[in-house]
Amino acid sequence: MSEKQTPAQLDAYSTLFGITKSDTTVFHETRGLWVGSVGDVKVRDINGNIATFVAVAAGTLLKIRVNMVFSGGTTAGNFVGMY
């Protein structure tokens, strides 16, 4: 018998994966994107829209659903995808 999960447990991320910025690689859509080093982050959301977050601080968790982090236009690094 499984225990009922709390809302906090249901909101937690269950899968983490490293992301290498690329202009061609499409990955599993995220629910969050960890930005490990400062800079701009150019992403594509799950609907195909492209946006650039400018001057994102190191250690920022962006709660966004994306499936690409572009190499061109992205100066930040050390990304971790979460879902």
What token pair was written down for 73? 């236009």
Per-residue pLDDT of the chain (83 residues; tens, 9 = 90+): 457 766 666 678 999 999 999 999 999 999 999 999 999 999 999 999 999 999 999 999 999 999 999 999 999 999 999 99
Q: What global pTM score does this model have?
A: 0.87
- Amino acid 40: pLDDT: 99
What is the rounded distance in angstroms from the CA atom of residue 2 to the CA atom of residue 51?
41
Q: CA nearest 55: which of 33, 27, 74?
A: 74
Please check whether residue 42 is in contact with residue 69, taking contact to mean a CB–CB distance below 8 angstroms: yes
Q: Is the dihedral of CA 79, 65, 38, 41 positive or negative?
A: positive
